[in-house]
Amino acid sequence: MYVKVFFPFGDSNETNNYESKIELHKGEVVVVNEEDREKIGVVYFLENRTPRNNKVKDIVKRKADSLDVFDFWREFEKLLLDKGIELTEKALKSYQLTSGNFDTPLDIAKKKLTRNLILSHKTNRVYITDDKCISLQYGALRMYYRNGAIHKIENHKRHPREWKKNEVSYTYFSKLLGIDGL
């Protein structure tokens, strides 16, 4: 089996083909071998035949274990804190329609959504859209992130049943991003 693995936190959002001897599913976090080092990515596409361009980088070493998944999401959080995010006009307008954010200015919306991305529910399975957006859920808010920007926001009006706001982390990241009390 051949898989296309997506590396969502680089500047290029690169995808490369790898050979896999283990059964994988789209969205699984995996560890690949590339130039004698391990790299963590997400399965984006599966094929039973050799990729059209015949370019296969290397092999999938394993499905990510809990430490690999932790490192994957920690890299994401570091990227968000170091670089922040951008918002498309469409995403900003959608965010301003959510409760309490009607006239939130762009700079504050970016910080609040950075916090929400950091606090979003993270698993060892990542939902990736066809246009390579990572879909993350925070409460009733679903955010679609790609290349340092949120491209789309959906407000589902109700929180998932199992969701509970982590007040300590919420307060910590709000203070860290300078939006405490907003």
Q: Coil, strand or helix: which one is 160? A: coil
**Could you tell me the pTM of the whole model?**
0.86
Domain residue spans of the chain? 2-64, 84-176
Out of 20-24, 48-52, 62-66, 139-143, least confident range: 48-52
pLDDT tens profile 81-138 = 999 999 999 999 999 998 888 889 999 999 999 999 999 988 778 888 888 899 999 9
Does the domain formed by 84-176 have CATH 3.40.50? no
158 and 103 in contact (C-beta within 8 Å)? Answer: no
Q: Tell me the pLDDT of the chain averaged across its residues.
A: 88
Instruction: Give the Å distances, CA to CA, from 105 to 68, 83, 87, 93, 109.
Output: 37, 19, 12, 11, 6
132 and 150 in contact (C-beta within 8 Å)? Answer: no
Give residue 181's pLDDT. 74
117 and 85 in contact (C-beta within 8 Å)? Answer: yes
